Homo-oligomer: A and B are copies of this chain.
């Protein structure tokens, strides 16, 4: 239930195709090694799982004992989903993986490797991927591990997967992102608690055919911002034995400072990413951004001069789903026909860390 259905997509797709034809004419060196390596990749299918409980803005207003309209005004979210106690993060992830497997029409046993790319783990040890593999019923022995790059986990894992496929190590890789921010929200802090939703999405990938693949990838970490978005507990840093309190296990955020840092770094980052791909923004059919927050997305769109019509915006109906945001948005874009074979997507976003990351994907 996203808002892309109303967008005159054909026209835009044509614009992207025209820009690409133009670029091919004017830059004959594109595939001649002047740019960082093209990484072959084919999105076989994507899948999505919605958390089991719908939470509208009105329901949240009531729960928080706030006047009608409060939650929507503060967050820009009409409805989002939360998982009930009956649904674990790995179960949610396994459902998304199951959806991708069904959409691809393949045998789950054909999956060579499972990479889980969640923002927060299900437990400190072992990896979330192990639990997902168990719930998804992958055959015994199927390798499973985690990549953790906060909200950019899916983007980083896609790059990892493409590299592994390129080296011939695996033939079909599943990348799954699931997050249940609802477990770590500090409801006394509207700015950081109202913007999230739970969810999961998955992708099955293989080596691409022809020009299918990652044209460029970028990822940068600015550790000056590592305290701006965090959950201090959950590992060796702040433990119960050392006096950690309940609040140490909740998400804390200085939204203003994060946004300032992100807006400062993003233009340069985006320019480099596009230059590395040998393209301009015009040739991107669809931008699939991390669904950080309504304010964050609005600022970023304005600052970058992005065309709103080309941006997948599922935020009003999903909220910020942490690492699951980008693959869920990608799945919506594919399901709705916004994206498809021959089209070009830009996956891009920011993450706790603070990191910036993105990739240009030719489908």
Partner of A145, one of B149, B184, B217: B149
Partner of A126, one of B138, B140, B159, B230: B230
Tell me if B241 and A123 are in contact (CB < 8 A): no
* Interface-central residue, A124, A134, A224, by most chain B CB under 10 Å: A124
Residues of A contacting B: mostly: mixed
Total chain A interface residues with beta-carbon distance under 8 A: 79
CA–CA, A151 and B271, complex, Å: 39
Q: Which residues of B contact A130 (CB under 8 A)?
A: 221, 223, 226, 352-353, 355
Residue A298 CB within 8 A of the other chain: no
Cβ contacts A311-351/B at 8 Å (1 or 0 each): 00000000000000000000000000000000000000001
Q: Which residues of B contact A123 (CB under 8 A)?
A: 230-235, 237-238
Tell me if A221 and B124 are in contact (CB < 8 A): no
Residue A131 CB within 8 A of the other chain: yes
Query: 18 A-B Cβ contacts within 8 A?
Result: A36-B168, A37-B167, A37-B168, A114-B221, A123-B234, A124-B234, A125-B234, A127-B148, A130-B353, A140-B223, A143-B219, A145-B149, A145-B152, A160-B160, A160-B163, A160-B164, A234-B234, A240-B249
Going nearest first, the 4 A-B pairs with the smallest beta carbon separation are A124-B234, A134-B223, A126-B352, A145-B149
